[in-house]
Amino acid sequence: MDAKGETIAVVGSGIDDAALYPRANLRLGQEILGSGGAIISENPAGTQPQTWDFVKRNRLIAALSRATVVVEAPIKSGALITAKYALELGREVYAVPGDALRENTKGSNGLIAAGAAALIDPQELIEAIFPAKKARRGSPKPTKPHNPEEALIVRALTAGAKHVDELVAETKLSPETAQAALVALELRGVIAALGNMRYALA
C-alpha cells in the first residue's frame, strides 16, 4: 500500500468488522479497502474462523497468485499447503532461503532442497509474473525419494493414482508429514497432481 499498489487480503473469517480475524488487523483491513484493495472470504458475515477455514483460504491465495513465495515456514505449516495448491494450479513456487538452525525456516528451506527456486533476486519474481521476460527452463527429471516418508508415498502410488486421504491411511503418516512429502515429490517431478487432491507417479 505504501508503494500505491493493489492489495488483496484473503481471510478465513467473515469480512465484516465484527468477525474479521485477527482483530489486530482490523485497522489494516480498513486501510486496504480505503486504498482501493479488496478483502476476500468464502465465509458469510459473522463467521468466526475454525482451523480448516485457513486451509480453504490457502487455496484461494494460491489461485489468485501468479507465483507463490514462501518466506518463512516450519515443517508443519499452512504455507506448505499453499505451495502444494500452487503446484496443482501450475503456478511458480519460490522460497526465501533462511537460517538452517531455525525451526521457522526448516519448511521453506525444505522446499528449496526439494527443487523450488530459491528467491534471492526480486528479478526472478518479475520473470515469473511476466513470462515473456522469463528464460526457458528445462523440465526437471524425476528423481528418487529423499527420505522414508517420500518412499512410502511413492510405494503407495505404484498401484495407481490415489487421493491424499487414501495416502494418509495407507502410509500411516500424519496429514502434515504426508503433505510435506507430496510437495517435495511434486517439486522434483517424481509425482504429478491430477486435481481434486489426487496424485500419481509422473
Q: Are 111 and 104 in contact (CB under 8 A)?
A: no
Q: Is the pTM of this model over 0.75?
A: no
Q: Say which DSSP state 196 is in.
A: T
**CA atoms of 179 and 84, how far apart (whole Å):** 8
pLDDT of residue 128: 66
Q: Are 86 and 119 in contact (CB under 8 A)?
A: no
pLDDT of residue 136: 45
Please report whether residue 129 resides in a domain. Answer: no
Please report whether residue 85 resides in a domain. Answer: no
pLDDT string in tens for the chain (202-residue length): 888 888 999 999 999 989 999 889 999 999 999 999 999 999 999 999 888 888 889 999 999 988 899 999 998 888 899 998 998 888 888 999 988 889 999 989 988 888 788 888 777 787 767 765 544 444 445 567 788 888 999 999 988 888 999 999 999 998 888 888 888 888 888 888 887 788 888 8
Task: Domain count for the chain, please give it.
Answer: 1
Please report whether residue 182 resides in a domain. Answer: yes
Please report whether residue 90 resides in a domain. Answer: no
Stated as kind and residue range, the H or E segment containing 199 is: strand 198-201
pLDDT of residue 141: 52
What is the b/e burial string over 106-138, where b = at least 16 CB atoms within 10 angstroms of the residue's CB? bbbbbbbebbbbebeeeebbebbeeeeeeeeee
Determine the structural domain holding residue 145 and report its residue range. 140-202
**CA atoms of 14 and 193, how far apart (whole Å):** 30
**CA atoms of 167 and 152, how far apart (whole Å):** 9
Please report whether residue 116 resides in a domain. Answer: no
Q: Helix, strand, or coil here: 162? A: strand
Please report whether residue 97 resides in a domain. Answer: no
Instruction: Assign residue 170 the CATH number of its domain.
Output: 1.10.10.10
